[in-house]
Amino acid sequence: MFAIETENLRKEFGARVAVKGLTLQVEQGEVFGFLGPNGAGKTTFIKMMLGLVRPTSGQGRMLGAPVGSVATRGKAGFLPEHFRFHDWLTASEFLTLHGQLYGLPETELKRRRAELLERVGLEPFRDQQLRTFSKGMLQRIGLAQALLNHPSLVFLDEPTSGLDPVGRRLVRDVIHELRREGATVFLNSHLLSEVEITCDRVAFIKQGEVLRTSSLQALVEGETSVTLRAGGLTTELITGLGRFGNDVRADGDHVTLTVVDETALPAIARYLVAGGVELYALTPQRTSLEDLFIQVVGTDGGL
């Protein structure tokens, strides 16, 4: 059973297509990063999983049950974007409310509430109303709320955007703890450094479509950007480089391309020399996730 499994999931809002036939599988116990520019459909996808938004077509299952199933939501946790809550409640009352909505028994609720207030560092503020909280504190209480039920699947929608480093660190630590406990984490983000540190696998999404899914290991280690400097390059030769990798770009004597792994390097050298080229430099460079993001998603930001 997958934690999340969708097939051709699609959502239209009037004439606008927010999610365009999305097919995705997320294993149980993995930390999955959903990467894409703003407006790519990341939030809509999470909303469909949790039954906030009804898919226009396609199918989706969460923890084995069709999306929107009431009982299955009891096994999930959700930290929404923007952290907007009932701000006239105190931190403690807020957790009590959500614990009751999860249907936790009284004693379990009390224990969990105390544990989580402590965990997110809000114990001293337990009796303060949320309206007095800073954005960072709201994020912390929101995170606590999402963990009340010991969830087996947690959705975090842009959990760190606009937060200070301490808040980001907390989110990262909590994600690591969840992974240790065997929970699945689904992380929406455009903060690549966060994803690079926390995720096992990522999907790149743009305009409601998954462009690529890959393990982070393979992405960061496998993808290599190659820069070469050579004299006597012809257009045909440059085009021919396409068979060794992709994203070939030429600028005078300099050419860059991306290859799947380093074994392509000797082949490129042989190809160029055979083509009568004076090869001065052939330099591999590890691709950062950010480069990869730009490559996959493009520089237009999905607009």
Residues that bind other proteins (CB under 8 A): 13, 47, 50-54, 70-71, 73-74, 76, 78, 80, 82, 84-89, 93, 97-98, 100-103, 129, 142, 145
Q: Nearer Cβ to other proteins, position 97 or 248?
A: 97
Coil, helix or strand at residue 50: coil
Question: H helices within the chain, ranges in order?
Answer: 42-49, 70-73, 91-102, 106-119, 135-147, 165-180, 192-198, 216-217, 235-240, 264-274, 289-297
Nearer CB in complex with other proteins: 107/235 = 107
What CA dihedral angle connects 27, 31, 34 and 35, to 10 degrees?
A: -140
CB of 145 or CB of 287, closer to other proteins: 145
Least distance from other proteins to the Cβ atom of residue 89, Å: 8
Distance from C-alpha of 43 to C-alpha of 10, rounded to nearest angstrom: 13
Which residues, in sequence order, are bridge partners of residue 22? 9
With respect to other proteins, which residue has the nearer C-beta, 54 or 254?
54
How close are the terminal C-alpha atoms of the chain, in Å? 36
The angle subtended at Cα 49 by Cα 43 and Cα 53, nearest 5°, is 65
105: tokens are 């028994």
What is the three-class DSSP state of 206? strand
Q: Select 70 or 274, whichever has its Cβ closest to other proteins.
A: 70
Q: Do 186 and 154 form a contact (C-beta atoms < 8 A)? A: yes
Residue placing its CB nearer to other proteins in the complex, 14 or 182: 14
Q: Which is nearer to other proteins, 14 or 124 (CB)?
A: 14
Q: What's the CA gap between 234 and 119, in Å, rounded?
A: 62
Least separation in angstroms between residue 85's CB and other proteins is: 6
> How is 220-252 classified by DSSP, letter by letter?
III-EEEEEEEES--HHHHHHGGGTEEEEEEET
Could you count the other beta carbons within 10 Å of the beta carbon of residue 232?
A: 12
Cβ closer to other proteins: 4 or 230? 4
Residue 106 structure tokens: 């009284």
Name the minimum Å distance from CB 51 to other proteins.
Answer: 7
Phi and psi torsions of 194, nearest 5°: -65, -50
